[in-house]
């Protein structure tokens, strides 16, 4: 391959790869808002049902966190997955999702590791925030909402994996529409371009 052909292949690969902002930014935020609204509503009913429908006091911070946390997790998960899909396609690692099972995608491409890291970050932030507010308001750790703190770590892992897997597959499918090419043929094209 000549230098011009090499740059053409790389330019084509880079232009096909999805960019998270600004072209996809609105859809990323929309999907994150829908998940946050749905999941936050369910969690608010579970965690504060007695306050919503009964005589107990509504806890504002935990209520806000059940909506903000899913929004942050899903937004960051989508951005991370798009970046990884872009990298995988550019290096020829990306396999069209039709050739890879959902669980295989979820357990590969670094998705689980990124979801765990994101859960530690978000859960840690939520824990410090709730701990600080609880100690400030009550003066002791006895009133700490343990269920909310466990959700702060466990749910970001689950929704981070799901969101990243779906977004990764959607991003790679945008590059391989209708199975018009396979991961192997794309990989060989990229490798041939890189070897010149």
- What's the pTM value of the predicted model, to 2 decimals? 0.75
Q: What is the mean pLDDT of residues 84-112?
A: 83
Residue 78 structural domain = 3-195
The kind and range of the H/E element at 24 are none
| Pair 105, 111: CB distance under 8 Å | yes
Pairwise CA distance, residues 52 & 36, whole Å: 19
Q: Report the SS3 class of residue 109.
A: coil
Would you say residue 180 has pLDDT above 70? no
Taking all residues of the chain, what is their mean pLDDT, rounded to a whole number? Answer: 78
CA-to-CA dists, residue 58 to 147, 179, 182, angstroms: 16, 51, 54
Least reliable range by pLDDT among 4-13, 76-85, 89-98, 139-148: 4-13
Per-residue pLDDT reduced to its tens digit, 51-90:
888 888 888 888 888 899 999 999 999 999 999 988 888 8
Q: Which tops the pLDDT comparison, 38 or 145?
A: 38
Total number of domains constituting the chain: 1
When pLDDT is cut at 50, 70 and 90, the band that residue 117 belongs to is: very high
């Amino acid at each position: 391959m000549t230098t011009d052909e090499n740059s053409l292949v790389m330019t084509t690969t880079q232009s096909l790869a999805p960019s998270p902002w600004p072209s996809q930014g609105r859809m990323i935020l929309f999907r994150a808002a829908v998940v946050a609204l749905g999941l936050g509503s369910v969690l608010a009913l579970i965690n504060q049902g007695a306050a919503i429908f009964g005589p107990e006091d509504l806890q504002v911070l935990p209520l806000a966190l059940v909506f903000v946390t899913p929004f942050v997790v899903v937004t960051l998960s989508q951005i991370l997955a798009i970046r990884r899909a872009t990298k995988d396609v550019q290096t020829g690692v990306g396999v069209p999702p039709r050739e890879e099972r959902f669980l295989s995608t979820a357990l590969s491409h670094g998705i689980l590791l990124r979801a765990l890291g994101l859960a530690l970050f978000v859960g840690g932030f939520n824990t410090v925030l709730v701990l600080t507010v609880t100690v400030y308001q009550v003066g002791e750790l006895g009133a700490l909402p343990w269920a909310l703190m466990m959700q702060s770590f466990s749910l970001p892992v689950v929704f981070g994996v799901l969101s990243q897997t779906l977004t990764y597959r959607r991003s790679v499918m945008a590059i391989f529409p209708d199975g018009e090419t396979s991961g192997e043929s794309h990989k060989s094209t990229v490798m041939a371009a890189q070897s010149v």
